[in-house]
Structure 1
């Protein structure tokens, strides 16, 4: 219990700050309502109670978000389009598809860059430059192009997720594949190992720590890409966020944000668990 005390203390402090911010940001609405009714401004105790119960607050209180989460997760059937479980599954499926595509392309491109100087000099700068374009600006253009090609919304989402996830994998794998020391490469050369044998026996095993580090970044980036892509689609956590902003349903927005954040934390934790298992199996310390 003592081990968790610092975490719980920080969490409690954040909740208290959140409640204070909710009172501060939501108070103006109550003052305006009292002014319109010609009544006196509410006192502090009454003001706190009123700001904690607004239907469309500027900043929902923590308990309102918890209620919104509970209703969104358990208040209806999981196949209902009002269920956060349904929207989370739609986002997760697009995230995993894009992550798989981005990871595969990233590993292949990294291997090509390491083994071909021309690829290193020509492709790597373009890979870096591609990440300078804001995804919010790029997503609508990609959606138009994909629609013109007859692609489905799920494929469009996978492409945008892959776009964001492949770059961390490329950078991490290039660093990892180049991590073996010169003496190790020279040793394999004395054994007459060819490039394929050097890759499979030395470069690839040595790159595993870098690979998993890039995967943890990449899967979080893929989730961001899926959510951004869903801003142009009818379902998913991104669509849920946009619908909440249209109708000033701030509790809905915050509930969807917490689901997305929890999903990212679980995906990264799962990736870390796989990393631990794989590295221990390979005789490496994490």
Structure 2
């Protein structure tokens, strides 16, 4: 660097940037570090029984224990592992009850970066399979939610009749209704992406409906009176006043809806015995006791949801900026 570069740098600028970075990201890094530390600590008692089994197989004597301190595993009374035995084997088991963070990260790296995207072992490929019904269900649910919200705001009858039913629909567990939807649609020959998309739409329409109802009613009484003095029709009021006012509420609800749609698509894969998709990875890991695969699929789903929410947030910033609302 030249003397001019040093002269252009204000004194204390580096330390000021470091303080700003610590102020902005320090709490996040601290919370993440604390969670990782607690995760590692939880692996020790969760994997203690497997640690003891490994120690017995290797011919290592276990500490004596009373009958009350023993557990019957496979017809053999085994004692709890001693702290050193539990600690030595808690973090490197092939099929742990609770995998460690580095095992999950390694599995994510191997299945995302270490595999071709077209490989059936690639988590990216499975995420793409799940993404199709997610986006279709999100689109269906969003359109249905917006349409219901417009009807609820403009019709007293729909407000008193449809809204309670929309709320009641969310009390039905999705794990109970998903197999019913799959079976009914399969009986009439509808298979593939659409049944899972309908389950996604079922979960995603409600937050859009509630958010849009709140947004469409966000216009102040004075603004509505002004539209009446201009003799504006209901459609003109909707397009010129209510919809622009509802956009911040709409985008907030869309972020929730897209995550719910992803959950619906994953749940929709479970009753079908799917062999591809994030739900299939969860099923396969559960069948074969591959807990590391289960956790990597869960984190993969979380990454996909975060990316979808980030895309909607980017569209929100662009749209609101163009409309002068941000």
Match of 1:277 in 2: 318
Does structure 1 conserve the Cα–Cα contact (< 8 Å) formed by 2:43 and 2:90?
Answer: yes
Q: Answer yes or no: is 1:16 the counterpart of 2:37.
A: yes
Which residue number in structure 2 is paired with residue 164 of structure 1? 203
Larger Rg: 2
Kindly indicate whether the alpha-carbon contact (under 8 Å) linking 2:45 and 2:86 is maintained by their aligned counterparts in 1.
no
Residue 182 of structure 1 aligns with which residue? Answer: 221
Q: Where does 1:53-202 land on structure 2 (aligned, <5 Å)?
A: 53-202=92-241
Q: Which of 15, 18, 29 in structure 1 is aligned with 2:50?
A: 29
TM-superposition CA deviations, 1:224-259 (whole Å, max 9, x none)? 101111112221101111110111000000110111
How many residues are treated as equivalent by the alignment?
285
Deviation at 1:44, TM superposition (A): 4.3
Alignment match, 1:265: 306
Q: Classify the secondary structure of the residue corresponding to 2:118.
A: coil
The Cα of 1:71 is off from its aligned counterpart by: 1.4
Q: Which whole-Å deviations, capped at 9, do the CAs of 1:109-168 have from their partners, x for residues lacking one?
A: 111111111111111111111111000111000000111121122111100000000011
Partners of 1:131 and 1:44 in 2: how far apart? 46
1:239 aligns with 2:294: no
Please, what TM-score do these two structures have when normalized by structure 2?
0.83
8 Å CA contact retained: 2:51, 2:85: no
More divergent stretch after superposition (5-14 vs 216-225): 5-14
Instruction: Name the structure, 1 or 2, with higher relative contact order (CA <8 Å, separation 6+).
Output: 1
Unpaired runs of 5+ residues, structure 2, are 1-20, 63-80
Displacement after TM superposition at 1:222 (Å): 0.5
Contact 2:47 2:86 in 1 (8 A): no
Task: Say whether 1:254 aligns with 2:295.
Answer: yes
1:217 matched to 2:273? The reply is no
Question: Deviations for 1:52-108, whole angstroms, at most 9, x for unmatched residues?
Answer: 221100001111111111111133321222211111011111111100010011111
Q: CA RMSD in A?
A: 1.6
Secondary structure (helix, strand or coil) at the match of 1:78 reads coil
Q: Tell me the distance in 1 between the aligned counterparts of 2:202 and 2:286.
A: 26
Structure-1 separation of matches of 2:116 and 2:130: 18
Q: What is the TM-score of this pair, normalised by structure 1?
A: 0.95
Deviation at 1:27? 1.4
CA distance in 2, matches of 1:10, 1:120: 43
Question: Which structure's residues are more often helix, by fraction?
Answer: 1
Which of 177-186 and 99-108 deviates more?
Answer: 177-186
